[in-house]
């Protein structure tokens, strides 16, 4: 029988408040549609239970300091889950969220910032203008609805992330179906690891090649 894990009460409180804010913020998503973007949609929070612990057990956590970046952070619910999980480790964690849409940033700063003890750096930037070389843990959840934009973004992240870094959210099927030769070549160099319900991809040292 699998162990029943109770969510952190702070996470439940944060999640409920974020859901209430999302209901108001997502009434008009025309701006996102016109730019080929998805509005704020959270990944399944149940998949993230004990994720940092599982990564540690599998030897996949990057070397400290662990710099986690959520690409299209929205209201930072998933990052807050990781933030609470990080308290169980002796490693140094730093949290970053890149978000273009100002209403999400304003809602976070006005309603949710106090939960963070100023430990999340919210960055107002377009995902395609941002540089990902400073992060060794990157979280992606379908920021673009158009495949060509998503492929360009995947390629940018893979090329810029440092060796030893890990990334969640790369879509193997769409990359192999819609990606260009350069993206496919760089993607096939990554180590693929199944972590419970999620796929994690690790960038190996220069010159190493991993076959999926």
| Domain CATH for 153 | 3.40.50.150
The answer to whether residue 130 is domain-embedded is yes
pLDDT tens-digit profile of 102-142? 999 999 999 999 999 999 999 999 999 999 999 999 999 88
Q: Does 17 reside within a domain?
A: no
Which residue bears the tokens 């889950």? 81
Q: Evaluate whether residue 141 is within a structural domain.
A: yes
Q: 195: closest CA among 108, 137, 116, 118? A: 137
Backbone angles phi, psi at 94, to 5 degrees: -130, 135
Q: How do residues 124-134 score in pLDDT, each as one tens digit?
A: 999 999 999 99
Predicted confidence (pLDDT) per residue in 59-73, tens digit: 999 999 999 999 999
Residue 22: pLDDT above 90? no
User: In the predicted model, is pLDDT for residue 38 greater than 50?
Assistant: no
In this prediction, residue 211 has a pLDDT band, given cuts at 50, 70 and 90, of very low
Q: Which domain holds residue 145?
A: 49-202
| In 28-146, alpha helices (H) | 30-34, 51-57, 77-86, 102-107
- Read off the DSSP letter of residue 37: B
CA distance linking residue 127 with residue 27, whole number of Å: 23
């Amino acid at each position: 029988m699998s162990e029943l894990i109770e969510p952190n009460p702070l996470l439940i409180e944060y999640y409920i408040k974020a859901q209430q804010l999302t209901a108001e913020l997502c009434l008009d998503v025309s701006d996102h549609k016109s730019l080929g973007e998805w509005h704020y949609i959270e990944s399944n929070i149940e998949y993230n239970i004990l994720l940092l612990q599982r990564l540690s057990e599998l030897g996949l956590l990057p070397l400290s300091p662990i710099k986690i970046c959520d690409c299209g952070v929205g209201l930072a619910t998933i990052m807050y889950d990781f933030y609470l999980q990080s308290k169980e480790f002796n490693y140094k964690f730093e949290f970053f969220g890149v978000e273009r849409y100002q209403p999400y940033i304003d809602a976070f700063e006005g309603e949710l910032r106090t939960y963070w003890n100023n430990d999340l750096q919210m960055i107002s930037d377009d995902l395609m203008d941002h540089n990902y070389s400073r992060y060794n843990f990157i979280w992606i959840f379908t920021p673009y609805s158009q495949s060509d934009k998503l492929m360009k973004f995947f390629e940018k992240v893979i090329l810029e992330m440092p060796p030893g870094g890990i990334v969640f959210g790369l879509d193997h099927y769409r990359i192999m179906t819609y990606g260009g030769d350069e993206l496919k070549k760089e993607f096939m160099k990554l180590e693929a690891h199944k972590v419970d319900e999620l796929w994690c991809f690790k960038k190996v040292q220069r010159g190493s090649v991993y076959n999926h």
